[in-house]
Amino acid sequence: MKMNAYIAGIGMTTFGNHIDTTLKALAGEAIQAALADAGMDKSMLQAAWMANAAGSVVQGQVMIPGEVALRNLGIGRIPVVNVENACASGSTAFQQACAMVSAGLYDVVLVCGSEKLFHEDKARPMGAFAGAIDVEEPGGTLKILEMLALAAKEPIAADVGVNRSVFMDIYSLMTKKHMKKYGSTKEHFAMVSAKNSLHGSLNPLAQFRKVLTVEEVLAARTIIEPLTLPMCSPIGDGAAAVILVSERKARELGLRNPVRVMACALATGWDWEKEGDNVGTLAAEMAYEAAGIGPQDLSLVELHDASAPSEIMAYEYLGLCRAGGGAELIESGATRLGGRLPVNTSGGLLRKGHPVAATGCAQIVELVKQLQGRADGRQVEHARLAMAHNAGGLIGMDAASTVVTILGKEG
């Protein structure tokens, strides 16, 4: 969908273990930072889109997490929309808010994604992830794993979902299929984790700051073959917020170094039958067309590396390289800082962390910093066009929802 909205301010907490901080306090910290960055008072907000995915299961906060967080800041009266859409919750909230601003209904709106996944009872976050599939489908998770195992020509692990998210079993089977079809290797996946660890070491808000070598990634504890611990995105707590304004308001405010939302496409997974169909490709093609650009025009990308192989597969279905060319792309160094197309300069989900509903907004925060020349220590030179890709849940053998956003630096 073509958009015409501008980003006036951004804010984000550190990602990590905030077990002693409330969910609404995390949201409040990010929102206050975004308002300060925009130079705005909270009274200027006309509406808010508040994303949270697992609060009902992990924290017990149901139905009104957005209103609760905003009340804590003294914000009320305005329309508040709570958004839950698995790991794509934050980006879905952003897409909906952009659409409303682009349509002329509001001039100043807030988007915030917040999440708390650390809990004394570790079964709670795992239970939240287990519900991000069709739980009423006969056979449930087992049926999905059987379909993936058939496609990968691999058996299902005997300890499926034990001491790990069931999504790691899903990623494992998807990865084995890619390895057999295209020749990608465990070493290629380790290259992704090592690259993102370097990027994350330069991000003061990242959950993990230690630089890892390919050898260290390969030697780490195996979660499920071929995935070692650094190849799997961690759970985390955190929040990220964005202030969006209309073109008219941007002119009125005299925004310096403005970043425009050129396109933001939300697509839903479906029961595709043709090999090669993919909700990520669909969303990317919609976004490219709406923005009037192609993947060759991008300066950098933040994409959904829920596992290291997921990044390599995303290179391919987002059009950053040919089908089967993801391993070659990571091997070339093109996606590292200093390369032709840096990917996940924030450290990605693997190192920045993955507080589910906060992830999509955090991707926008990183890209805005890059486009405005504010990404100290990890700045991509001459960045002008950037893409965010955020996916969540599972329908059949694909993501349930995917959002692809194109941002452009103006002036």
Q: What is the CA radius of gyration of the chain?
A: 20
Nearest-angstrom CA–CA distance, 393 and 408: 28
Element (H, E) at 259: strand 259-268
For residue 9, give the 3-state DSSP assignment: strand
Tokens of 47: 């509406």
CA distance 70 to 68: 6
> Catalytic: 87?
yes
Residue 49's H or E segment, with its range, is strand 47-51
Give the type of residue at 365. V
CB under 8 Å to 173, separation ≥6 — which residues? 145, 148, 149, 151, 152, 154, 156
- Burial class (CB within 10 angstroms; exposed 0-12, middle 13-18, buried 19+) of 123: exposed
Choosing from 87, 112, 264, 361, the catalytic residue is: 87
d(CA 363, CA 360): 5
Q: Which residues are catalytic?
A: 87
